[in-house]
Copies of this chain bind each other. A is one copy, B any other.
């Protein structure tokens, strides 16, 4: 017998037929003797409908009341799932976030979990019940309802798994797991069976949209073992777990890409201390998320500085900051390029295997793909390339590192 937290997103409970499907799956686990805690999101479409109503009364900017309103979506889901389980003869009890003991700070619409008091859940588990908790929500110490923001239901599940010392936290979604690359681009992409938290974090931050980084970070911090899997099939998903020595045997875990990149270049900057600091000071003050930075070899005391930012933020720079940057940094002009993308290799095996970067650059060069910027960490290498080449790059790297083959060991 183990203790399992399962999280079902909005598409898994899009209608009452899906609720019944989820209920049958939960009951199966319960029948096998597991202790099951289920975290549920709002039914697909419900949250959007509520936001529309809020807009109609002109109140979508009232964060406290938005939380009060949106929290009802998950509350409906937990009640319906509890009913469905009862109908199947499986004992189940529903709880709001507040009832489940999830205490947050008071930052409405993006609250952070401060503390969880799991006694009530423990008691119901001891009674043999499935416990169904509303995802995405909690309440402050003063009993004001809050929501956790994007990816909040995943976070609820991971936090509950941590505090309940669950053996596994299953995240049910509409994909079968984490893949070596986006299967829409690489048909031979393979579902990864095991991946470390760090690798998953890199993949998520580099564009692989399976789980939000915040939840994976939380899982890493508290040693929660995750499984990402599909609510539409019975196949095993991808286990995201603490790093083991054997994992390092696999050099590259996957290829990620992100089209939401844009590049700006400052030409002819005086090559003297403080110029870069001035530029990035202006960007930081405007909350622009700078990703990669390079500074070219200088000639005659002048340099070029390039950096990448999300595409939406490039617009802010062009409209609001460009003149000030040119004046304060002291450069000729700013060049913009929105037609760039980032392709990345991720794997903790890189730490102990040399030559990965060279192999990556060679593979891209072999297809005539020009590398504009490079950035590396201990477990990833990213290249900025032309956006038109991104699919070719992903396919090329997937093939070059033989990611379609199941690793012989370490996974």
Contact = CB atoms under 8 A, between A and B. Distances in A.
B94 A80 contact: no
A311 interface: no
Given A72-B75, A75-B72, A82 B59 contact: yes
Given A56-B16, A57-B20, A143-B99, A79 B69 contact: yes
A87 B96 CA distance: 28
Interface in A171-189: none
A79 B65 contact: yes
Q: For chain A, what secondary structure do more than half of its interface residues adopt (helix, strand, loop), or is it mixed? A: helix
Nearest to A98: B143
A84 interface: yes
Nearest to A93: B64
Interface string A39-65: 000000000001001101111101011
Given A64-B93, A71-B75, 13 more contacts: A20-B57, A59-B82, A60-B83, A64-B82, A65-B79, A65-B80, A65-B86, A68-B75, A68-B78, A68-B96, A69-B76, A69-B79, A72-B73
Return the 9 tightest CB-CB contacts between A and B, nearest first.
A59-B83, A58-B87, A16-B56, A69-B79, A72-B72, A68-B79, A57-B84, A65-B79, A65-B82
Interface of A: 16, 19-20, 23, 50, 53-54, 56-60, 62, 64-66, 68-69, 71-73, 75-76, 78-84, 86-87, 93-94, 96, 99, 143-145
